[in-house]
Amino acid sequence: MENCVPRTPQSSATWRQDVPASIVVALVALPLCLGVALASGAPLMSGLIAGIVGGIVVGALSKSPLSVSGPAAGLTVIVLAAIQSLPSFEAFLLAVVLAGTMQLVFGLTKTGILSEFIPSSVITGMLAAIGLILILKQVPHAIGYDGDYEGSFAFLQPDGRNTFSTLWYVLQEKMVWGAAIIAAVSIAFLFWWDKARPSEGPLRFVPGPLVVVVFGVVANSIFANAAPQFQINPSHLVQVPVVEGFGGVIGLLAFPDFGQIGNPVVWTTAVTLALVASLESLLSVKAVDQLDPQRRTTDKNRELFAQGSGNLVSGLIGGLPVTSVIVRSSANVDSNAASKKSTILHGLWLLLSLLLIPTVLNLIPLASLAAVLIATGYKLTKPDLFRKKFAQGWSQFVPFTVTVGAILVTDLLTGIFIGLGVGFAFVIARNFRPAISYVCEGRDCLVRARRNLYFMHKVELQTVLDRVPDGTDVLIDLSSTEFVDIDNIDIINDFIRAAEYRDIKVVVRGDLAERTAPRIRAPRQEVVYA
């Protein structure tokens, strides 16, 4: 049995996987942090702070080996509305601090167990939808159009278009050939590198996305000198705030206004952030556990505690709220990370790059990063995934496809709620299928419970027992059950009591009597437990 348990790689071995993976995740996270901050109406530095805190603080406290946290696109609408309704950004930071405190309470009270009730079809649908959205949303960035912010999941965009109309618009009007060339070469390289990457030698540690980023910087430099018509404009490059060392970063920090503690809008915002951020984190972590090659399971209550700690710290130093984010986490898995060291290191790289090389980061074309995200998106939504779900039957395929479609035409959270509604409807429908079979031939009758009997099965059980004719021999087979609700036990006991007055001989089969209280009673000499 010992050989059947997957083992976590030794610490010395995981560094070889985690360091390259952390660099890739940092490159992916950088524009996403800036894009979410821009869409939220918050200072750009607040997005970077949230990314750094999500990596270092949440990464250190979480027990998830592969999940990556940071500012999330799913919260942008809430954050934007809160910043506009509160008297200052510092008042909003107080709401983030309070939300983090509430999440700490959620973790300590073991609220994370609720995530285990989410249907798997909805989780896989969310992953597939995110993969499709990454492709659809990053194609415009790949060819030089940045009308929608990096990391957006919303169908309707700030520029008045939607996910699909934007594709047609950029192909007709807004293509930047320099960006398109960089993106096309980068995507081709990433797919080739996945197959051609050597398994031995130093090249096996070289992450493809890092090669793509270096290529993008070099190619744009060549365009500037040899073919200016292909040069990418500064607006299509990464735009990190340039600060003068650690002192410059400290000067850009903001702190919560505790004088707003009595403001009811602060508390309403805090509750909303705590609930939505917790839900998004639990969904993301559960999805990442499914992506994990080792199929490790994350402690969901500890995850809520870690997320709460991250939001507490982020709010105290001027950062946006953080959640576990599936895009960065997927990039982490795709880069063969082995442990949470990759998550922590990615936060450290974000901090060091902000302090040491902001001007270098600002040379990176968004087309290069779009290529990385398109390749990641394809791996999340391969056609084989849809075939597998179809083969599993309608109860899996319908919630899966509804979740995918709903996320595509609304936004991440709305789509998930729609998918959950459909998923739970199928769960309820399955439980309302006949749980009891009834057969009667001559004097012999069989009443068989196909599965556990709950309160909802009372009417069905009573109806079946009422069909048993007088003067028959009845076998009540409970051998397939592990639980029978006490109301159903009472119905069976009432039937047994009445049986002796109807010339009915009853036999109850199964060991339920030894597992359930009160026990099912039987008339003398007529009922036995087989």
User: Any idea where the domains of the chain sit in the sequence?
Assistant: 13-382, 436-514
What pLDDT score does 511 carry? 64
Residue 448: strand, helix, or coil: strand
Residue closest to 230 by CA, chosen among 166, 176, 173, 290: 176
What pLDDT score does 382 carry? 92
Please give the C-alpha separations between residue 1 and each of 6, 8, 297, 475, in angstroms, as whole numbers. Answer: 11, 16, 19, 40
What pLDDT score does 323 carry? 97
Residues 6+ away with beta carbon under 8 Å from 295? 6, 289
Instruction: Tell me which residue has tokens 């009540």.
Output: 476
> Does the N-terminal peptide bond of residue 383 adopt cis geometry, omega within 30 degrees of 0?
no
Spatial contact of 183 and 368, defined as CB atoms under 8 Å apart = yes
Q: What is the DSSP string of 32-53?
A: HHHHHHHHTTS-HHHHHHHHHH
Q: State the Cα–Cα distance between residues 471 and 500, nearest whole angstrom.
A: 10
Q: State the Cα–Cα distance between residues 373 and 455, nearest whole angstrom.
A: 48
What pLDDT score does 457 carry? 84
Q: State the Cα–Cα distance between residues 284 and 287, nearest whole angstrom.
A: 5
Name the token pair of 22: 């952390």
Instruction: Tell me which residue has tokens 């959640």.
Output: 323
Instruction: Tell me which residue has tokens 């073919």.
Output: 227
What pLDDT score does 11 carry? 55
Spatial contact of 329 and 196, defined as CB atoms under 8 Å apart = no
What pLDDT score does 523 carry? 45
Residue closest to 368 by CA, chosen among 176, 223, 179: 179
pLDDT digits (tens, 9 = 90+) for 466-502: 999 999 999 999 988 888 888 888 889 889 889 988 9
Q: CATH code for 436-514?
A: 3.30.750.24
Radius of gyration of the chain (CA): 29
Strand partners, 32: none
Flag residues of the chain having pLDDT under 50: 1-9, 513-530
Spatial contact of 352 and 221, defined as CB atoms under 8 Å apart = no
DSSP secondary structure code for residue 241 in this structure = P
Spatial contact of 367 and 142, defined as CB atoms under 8 Å apart = yes
